[in-house]
Amino acid sequence: MTKHFWQEEFETLGKKDLQKLQVERLNATITNASRSSFYSKLFGKKNIQPGAITDIAQIAELPFTTKQDLRNHFPYGFLTLPKKDIIRLHSSSGTTGNPTVIFHNRHDLNSWANLMARSLFCAGVRDTDVFQNICGYGLFTGGLGFQYGIETLGALSIPAGAGNSLRQIKLMRDYGTTAAHAIPSYLGRLYEVFEAEGLDPKKDTQLKTLVIGAEPHTDGQRKRIEEMFGVKAYNSFGLSEMNGPGVAFECTYQNGLHIWEDAYVVEIVNPDTLQAVPDGEYGELVMTTLDRQAMPLIRYRTRDITRILPGQCECGRTHRRIDRITGRTDDMFIIKGCNVFPMQIEGVLMKIPEVGSDYMITLETMNGVDEMVVEVEVRNDWFQGDIRRLDKLSKTITHQIRDEVLAKPIVKLVEAGSIPKSEGKAIRVTDNRKNGLN
Ligand code: ADP
Ligand code: ZN
């Protein structure tokens, strides 16, 4: 019999049974969390009793946890177990203060590997696939997170690591890679290297599935990736505070990301009032772990903006879907009095065929006025053409961005490959303004 789900017993649970499981697991999580110094103090102050939850809606009565709380209680303030029981940590870079660190015991790592395997299966990956994991291994969760998921699923894993495009292409061709994971901003660059080598990934590889995530991207960018590589590209969402990848994933219907509700409680709140918003409305994603022992987190404010997509998915999974992340609450910048999210600009650019795969936004003070400079890579065949053509394209882009964000940008067209690439996730905005927000 063909298997349709990785774990049907969880993936197709009816609403009532799913909520019953969540209540049980939330009570256990509260009991467990109160062993950490952070939550024992917080629960004491707020008089929160373990076992008091009878309806999952009561989660709204619990306090939030923020990134600042994680930083303030760095490194061990959230730990519920003695160090001898902990077997791995992952941590963020911490360039702006204490890093955030998450600890796992064996149960947690098994549970994560299982969620990752479930996610990959949901995106159509099978044990017959050859899966190349093109991302950094180490403290970043994308490497080991995917690695254990691929192994749990039973596909042949190629732990390729990040960068070195020529080697990535060689691995793909040597071993007949059929599926791969990479951050979307890297794939445009990888394609340029294919082209420079006189290769076409559609003909010269056996790729059929790409898993893309770890950074915001628009549907336009996904479509471009699908066309360049001749594949289906599935959106993968996660954050290290909730393990890493394997939190929410698109299924083969590609209509939103199933968020695994047996492992997480999902809430969407208005970031100002912190009240829940109705399904379908955008707000900040708030998540609670339900199956993590070493370091449970309750009502963690992710700062990611998304919404719950109402209705059932045709695939049969009952876990609700979130829409693609439009950005983080702290991504937004204000220019000429207009609130702008970088993804609004990407959305405009990716619809223009002459535009290449990369862009960069720089905020500058010029003659005392704050300006938004948008550098846009243009396909090389276009760049070498008639100057008037470029002028016209630049005007079109300027108008379309202005129509979208209401502030007029200064658009600079540059050659493909000329925008500097960061090692990991793309940095879309640099703020060089004299007085910061304006
Ligand atoms: P950092 O906070 O240092 O970037 P993480 O690796 O934990 O470390 O990154 C998680 C964040 O990456 C998420 O909170 C979200 O903002 C972003 N992210 C992850 N996956 C996606 C995705 N599929 N779409 C958009 N943003 C994503
Ligand atoms: Zn589905």
Find the helix packing angle between 15-33 and 37-46, rounded to 10°: 110
Residue 302 Cβ < 6 Å to ligand 1: yes
Q: What is the pLDDT of residue 283?
A: 97
Q: What is the pLDDT of residue 384?
A: 79
Q: Which of 92, 304, 306, 331 to mutate to test the pocket of ligand 1 (most atoms within 8 A of CB)?
A: 304
Q: Other CB atoms closer than 10 Å to residue 31's CB: what's the count? A: 14
Query: What are the pLDDT digits (tens) for 212-231?
Result: 999 999 999 999 999 999 99
Within 8 A by CB and 6+ apart from 170, the residues are: none
Within 8 A by CB and 6+ apart from 294, the residues are: 79, 80, 81, 85, 86, 103, 104, 105, 108
Token code pair at residue 114: 């299982």
Q: What is the pLDDT of residue 324?
A: 97
Ligand nearest to the Cα of 234, by number: 1
Cα(112) to centroid(ligand 2), Å? 20
Residue 92 Cβ < 6 Å to ligand 1: yes
Cα(324) to centroid(ligand 2), Å? 14
Identify the bridge partners of residue 209 per DSSP, sorted by sequence position: 179, 232
Cα(253) to centroid(ligand 2), Å? 6
Instruction: With a cut of 70, list the residues of the chain below it in pLDDT.
Output: 1, 93-96, 435-438
Q: Report in angstroms the alpha-carbon separations of 25 from 18, 30, 112.
A: 11, 9, 16
Residue 333 Cβ < 6 Å to ligand 1: no
Cα angle: 70, vertex 327, 150; to 5 degrees: 75
Cα(244) to centroid(ligand 1), Å? 8
Domains present along the chain, CATH in parentheses: 1-330 (3.40.50.12780), 333-431 (3.30.300.30)
Cα(195) to centroid(ligand 1), Å? 29
Q: Is this prediction's pTM over 0.85?
A: yes
Strands 232-239 and 209-213, by their bridges, are parallel
Query: What are the pLDDT digits (tens) for 144-184?
Result: 999 999 999 999 999 999 999 999 999 999 999 999 999 99
Residue 132 Cβ < 6 Å to ligand 1: no
Atom of ligand 1 nearest to the CA of 257: 23
Query: What are the pLDDT digits (tens) for 369-386?
Result: 999 999 999 988 888 778
DSSP 8-state symbol, 74: T
